[in-house]
Amino acid sequence: MTATQPAAPETASILIVDDMEENLVALEAVLGSLGHVVRAHSGEEALKAMLRQEFAVVLIDVLMPGMNGFETAANIKGLDQTKDVPIILLTGAAVDPNYAYRGYTVGAADFLIKPFDPWLLRTKVNVFLDLFRKNRQLTDQSEQLKRLLTADGGRPTVTPSAPPPTCASTEPSYGTDDEDTTDSAERPAFLDDTGRLSEVVGQLAQAELLLRDANGPGGADLADRVVELEQAVGRLMTERET
């Protein structure tokens, strides 16, 4: 039986936050080919955007009027809906030496000083986009596994076998090696469930390999969780076969 291939992931969205339009234009020019870029001109506008849709990563300028970059980052990390979104803080060359420390304190994943190398920025952002896609794929496969395990209460069901046919002859009937003497309606339903669980094991194995190859933070931990799921499914298959 061939394992079902996971659906192609959605295009990941990137939020860029800066009060200066020319800076937003420059960022979008660098990052536009990586994913869907959304602009925000203030911290307040950024928070509203993040509550409307899901983002893989957000880039925030530190020096903004009103709610500055540190405050914006702190507010993002303070909301359950957005607390896990990685944040990259951006600031000009003349920076306070404590800015980087403050950035990491409020939960930023990275801190870059302008003018930055476009290749370096693309590389850093792409790491978070790749991790977002791997997490989404793992979530989809975990949901599929849950649906399989909860079907019919998670218990194998056996179809009652039909009564033996009435035969005029008392001679025993022997099937040949090429004949399947078991009617398909008499097969226990858990055999089909085992086949579906085998598909899930294959999909989990693919997800584990993808996460092992990913260089982003948290990839190894997620891969270990996938291995635990594989082992749990394997035990379940063994129990159903005995």
Whether the pLDDT of residue 40 is over 90: the answer is yes
Confidence (pLDDT) at 20: 94
Sheet holding 57-61, edge to edge: 36-40, 13-17, 57-61, 87-91, 110-113
What does the block give as tokens for 97?
């030496």
Alpha helices by DSSP H, listed for 61-189, are 69-77, 99-105, 118-150
pLDDT tens for residues 94-133?
Answer: 667 788 888 899 999 999 988 889 999 999 999 999 999 8
Q: Is 16 exposed, middle or buried (0-12, 13-18, 19+ CB in 10 A)?
A: buried
Q: Is 194 exposed, middle or buried (0-12, 13-18, 19+ CB in 10 A)?
A: middle
Confidence (pLDDT) at 167: 45
Q: Is 43 exposed, middle or buried (0-12, 13-18, 19+ CB in 10 A)?
A: buried
- The chain-wide mean pLDDT, for the chain, equals 76
pLDDT tens for residues 156-181?
Answer: 444 444 555 454 444 444 444 444 44
Phi, psi of 21 (to 5 degrees): -60, -40
